[in-house]
């Protein structure tokens, strides 16, 4: 009988790879990275670029938001190329959109703005189920028609919230794609939305997606807690800190209104 084959070298990075999607301990082949690692990196990079440049299918999103009145608006950026070069234009509503909101009903507790941001892919995959989950927890509030905004940045929600007379605005927006995930959605909550609000006046819930990120139910729990605390205290941002009621570390869920 032949001698048993000696064990191969121990990979010290193996346990860490199970705990993160980051690219660690890739190894090398000669002076370069292994071919498989190079191909995986190139595929992730292409996916991220596609997420940035892909247009949002507004009709499909509106259909997925069934049960909610939807207003379709746009920023001052006329196209994707301009949007990427001129962030300032993505923060302001187009003249046509301003006219649309001028004829809309006003006076709401909260307005939801679904914005394509830097990943229309994230919005297409995650915005509708997240919004449905949030509304189930906030159904006792006066909720404005859902706004779907294209070529939009976070601050566009300030214009929308002000025009609708909303006490709060929650912007669901595609986050900048990374090389680990290109489908991550963020939520930005602002009390008393007005043009010129600073980022420090907003609360952010990030990394919402179905591929290992924050789940829709977890994100909706966090958002519902923040919304009710913001309405009670009259603040968001650095003045409103999350505590156990927001993170729900005991596994409990916020009340869901059927």
Q: What is the token pair recorded at 112?
A: 């939801």
Beta carbons of 158 and 170 less than 8 angstroms apart = no
Q: What is the token pair recorded at 118?
A: 């830097």
Selection from 170, 223, 47 nearest residue 160 by Cα: 170
183 among the known binding-site residues? Answer: no
How many other CB atoms are found less than 10 A from the CB of residue 210?
14
Rounded to whole angstroms, what are the CA distances from 255 to 108, 145, 151, 217, 234?
21, 22, 34, 11, 22
- Dist CA 144 CA 159 (whole Å): 14
175 among the known binding-site residues? Answer: yes
Dihedral of CA atoms 197, 174, 220, 125 in degrees, nearest 10, equals 160
**Binding-site residue positions:** 154, 175, 204
**Binding-site residue positions for adenosylcob(III)alamin:** 154, 175, 204
């Amino acid at each position: 009988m032949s001698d048993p084959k000696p064990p191969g070298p121990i990979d010290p990075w193996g346990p860490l790879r199970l705990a993160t999607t980051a690219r660690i301990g890739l190894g090398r082949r000669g002076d370069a990275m292994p071919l498989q690692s190079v191909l995986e990196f190139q595929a992730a990079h292409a996916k991220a670029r596609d997420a940035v440049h892909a247009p949002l299918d507004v009709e499909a999103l509106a259909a997925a938001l069934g049960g909610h009145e939807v207003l379709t608006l746009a920023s001052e950026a006329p196209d994707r190329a301009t949007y990427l070069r001129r962030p300032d234009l993505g923060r302001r509503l187009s003249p046509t959109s301003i006219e649309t909101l001028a004829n809309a009903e006003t006076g709401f507790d909260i307005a939801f703005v679904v914005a394509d941001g830097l990943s229309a892919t994230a919005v297409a995959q995650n915005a509708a189920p997240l919004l449905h989950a949030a509304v189930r927890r906030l159904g006792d509030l006066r909720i404005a028609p859902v706004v779907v905004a294209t070529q939009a940045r976070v601050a566009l929600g300030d214009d929308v919230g002000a025009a609708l007379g909303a006490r709060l605005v929650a912007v669901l927006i595609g986050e900048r794609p990374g090389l680990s995930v290109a489908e991550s959605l963020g939520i930005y909550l602002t009390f008393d939305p007005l043009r010129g609000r600073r980022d420090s006046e907003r609360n952010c819930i990030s990394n919402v997606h179905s591929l290992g990120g924050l789940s829709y139910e977890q994100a909706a729990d966090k958002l519902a807690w923040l919304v009710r605390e913001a309405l009670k205290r009259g603040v968001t941002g650095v003045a409103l800190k999350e505590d156990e009621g927001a993170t729900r570390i005991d596994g409990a869920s916020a009340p869901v209104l059927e």
